[in-house]
């Protein structure tokens, strides 16, 4: 295969809002990090070296007694300082740190409830980054959206199936039915490669095989920063449409995420097999990225219908976004089926059913008759309030 069939491009992604991609470490608790209220930093601990430090200074038993109580966020740091140690005395027991972008008065009002922090992914050097798989997945969603816009017959037939699933009262597991439909659409739109089962046979692999997806022709590297990137801890803030009043109010929830900060600049690379993607009219990485803008605009415009007046500055800051990444970036950014809806009412009714099946305790069928989704996640940092997970990808 000729090397001329491939295009290699260096790209960059700028975080316009905090970006959180959950690490396999998951949630850490108040006995697993040091929160220094003075510097407003959280210092994360290497469990093995931390225990070694405690053992060396004959503090292990006392630490075990300490964590039997419900620790508030700053307790462990204060305890270490009371024993005569500074943060730097812990050496390699401290792996890395993050700046806390939560207002002190909020922490005080919640009795220092910065107790559980969901960590974001870090590379082997301890730096936060964006996995290539996350970028590729977001590009895939935008690509599916752009292809659906070109297939009126397929889009209408798929919406008829969405409507059937919604209105079938005998169908209990609607989530699985939606998932099967989404998979069928992906197979039709992306599984276009004709791959022989083996080199000795003319028989082809089944179209449903992932080997037949044109996404095989796209490689995306993990991101990296050219300098040190210090992550931030943000509190989950949800703008909620109140059905009774028609107003949007903001709720601060006791959920804290470690994120890449707004303004963080990351580099990554794309390798595109032009022979593979040429079949759908894409012959460059620039064209692939360009198609993401339509999907991003679609999601933001739908969200503006409900939240546009209350969150004017947030949407203004997201005007140049062309990609959604990570958790908290919005229900719509991961719900491609709603792109099939022919009008706003159909869209709202479908969103209510999908949300009900995912979060049945939240009364979506009863409350989402006029607006769905009725919640949108934002984050407050020293750079202002922004939408979660909005990014701008550009070619370097």
Domain contains 124 = no
Domain contains 253 = no
Q: Both 201 and 326 in a single domain?
A: yes
Q: Both 296 and 374 in a single domain?
A: yes
> Any residues with CB less than 8 A from the CB of 118 and at least 6 apart, and which?
20, 22, 26, 27, 255, 256, 257, 258
Q: Both 280 and 333 in a single domain?
A: yes
pLDDT at residue 363 greater than cutoff 70: no
Last residue of one domain, picked from the residues 114, 147, 169: 114
Considering its fold, how many domains does the chain have in total?
2
Domain contains 260 = no
Q: Both 222 and 298 in a single domain?
A: yes
Q: Both 71 and 211 in a single domain?
A: no
pTM: 0.89
Where is 34: in which H helix or E strand?
A: strand 33-36
Q: Are 392 and 266 in contact (CB under 8 A)?
A: no
Sheet with 390-395, strands from edge to edge, namely 218-220, 265-273, 6-15, 390-395, 323-324
Find the helix packing angle between 344-358 and 152-167, rounded to 10°: 50
Q: Both 168 and 37 in a single domain?
A: no
CA 63 – CA 55 distance, rounded (Å): 10
CA 264 – CA 390 distance, rounded (Å): 12
Last residue of one domain, picked from the residues 61, 83, 114: 114
Residues 282-311: pLDDT tens digits?
A: 999 999 998 898 899 988 998 898 898 999
Q: Are 312 and 286 in contact (CB under 8 A)?
A: no
pLDDT (0 to 100) of residue 112: 55
Q: Both 203 and 283 in a single domain?
A: yes
Q: Both 209 and 339 in a single domain?
A: yes
Peptide bond into 159 cis (omega under 30): no
Residue 160 structural domain: 3-17+131-226+273-395
Domain contains 365 = yes
Residues 35-80: pLDDT tens digits?
A: 998 899 999 999 999 999 999 999 999 999 998 877 777 889 999 9
Domain contains 258 = no
CA 223 – CA 35 distance, rounded (Å): 28
Q: Both 294 and 390 in a single domain?
A: yes
Report the chain's mean pLDDT, rounded to a whole number.
Answer: 87
Q: With CA atoms as reference, report the closest residue to 346 among 171, 169, 148, 163.
A: 163
Q: Both 60 and 162 in a single domain?
A: no
Domain contains 165 = yes
Q: Tokens in use for 96? A: 């890395």
pLDDT greater at residue 232 or residue 250: 232
Q: Both 333 and 391 in a single domain?
A: yes
Q: Both 38 and 99 in a single domain?
A: yes
Last residue of one domain, picked from the residues 114, 144, 164: 114
Task: List the alpha helices (DSSP H) in the chain.
Answer: 47-56, 60-66, 75-82, 104-109, 132-149, 152-167, 174-190, 274-277, 285-307, 312-317, 344-358, 364-367
């Amino acid at each position: 295969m000729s090397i001329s069939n491939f295009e290699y491009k260096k790209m960059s992604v700028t975080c316009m809002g905090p970006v959180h991609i959950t690490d396999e470490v998951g949630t850490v608790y108040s006995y697993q990090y040091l929160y220094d209220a003075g510097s407003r930093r959280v210092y994360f601990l290497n469990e093995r070296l931390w225990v070694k430090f405690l053992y060396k200074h004959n503090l292990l038993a006392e630490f075990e007694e300490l964590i039997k109580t419900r620790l508030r966020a700053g307790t462990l740091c204060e305890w270490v300082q009371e024993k005569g140690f500074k943060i730097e005395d812990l050496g390699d027991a401290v792996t890395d740190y993050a700046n806390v972008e939560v207002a002190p008065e909020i922490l005080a009002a919640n009795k220092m409830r910065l107790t559980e922090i969901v960590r974001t992914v870090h590379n082997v050097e301890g730096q936060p980054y964006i996995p290539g798989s996350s970028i590729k997945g977001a590009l895939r969603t935008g690509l599916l959206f752009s292809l659906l816009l070109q297939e009126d017959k397929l889009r209408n037939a798929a919406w008829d199936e969405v409507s059937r699933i919604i209105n079938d009262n005998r169908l209990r597991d609607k989530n699985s039915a939606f998932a099967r439909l989404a998979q069928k659409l992906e197979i039709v739109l992306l599984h276009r490669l004709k791959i022989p089962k083996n080199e000795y046979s003319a028989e082809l692999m089944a179209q449903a095989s992932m080997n037949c997806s044109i996404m095989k022709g796209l490689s995306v590297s993990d991101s990296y920063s050219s300098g040190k990137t210090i992550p931030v801890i943000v509190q989950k803030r949800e703008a909620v449409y109140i059905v009774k009043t028609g107003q949007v109010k903001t709720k601060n929830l006791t959920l804290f995420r470690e994120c890449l900060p707004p303004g963080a600049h990351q580099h990554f690379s794309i390798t595109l097999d032009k022979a593979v993607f040429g079949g759908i009219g894409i012959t460059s990485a620039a064209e692939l990225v360009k198609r993401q803008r339509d999907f991003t605009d679609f999601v933001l415009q739908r969200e503006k219908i409900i939240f546009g007046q209350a969150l004017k500055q947030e949407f203004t800051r997201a005007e140049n976004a062309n990609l959604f990444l990570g958790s908290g970036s919005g229900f719509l950014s991961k719900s491609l089926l709603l792109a099939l809806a022919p009008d706003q009412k159909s869209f709202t009714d479908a969103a209510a059913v999908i949300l009900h099946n995912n979060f049945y305790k939240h009364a979506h069928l009863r409350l989402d008759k006029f607006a769905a989704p009725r919640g949108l996640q934002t984050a407050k940092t020293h750079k202002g309030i922004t939408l979660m997970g909005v990014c701008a990808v550009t070619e370097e």
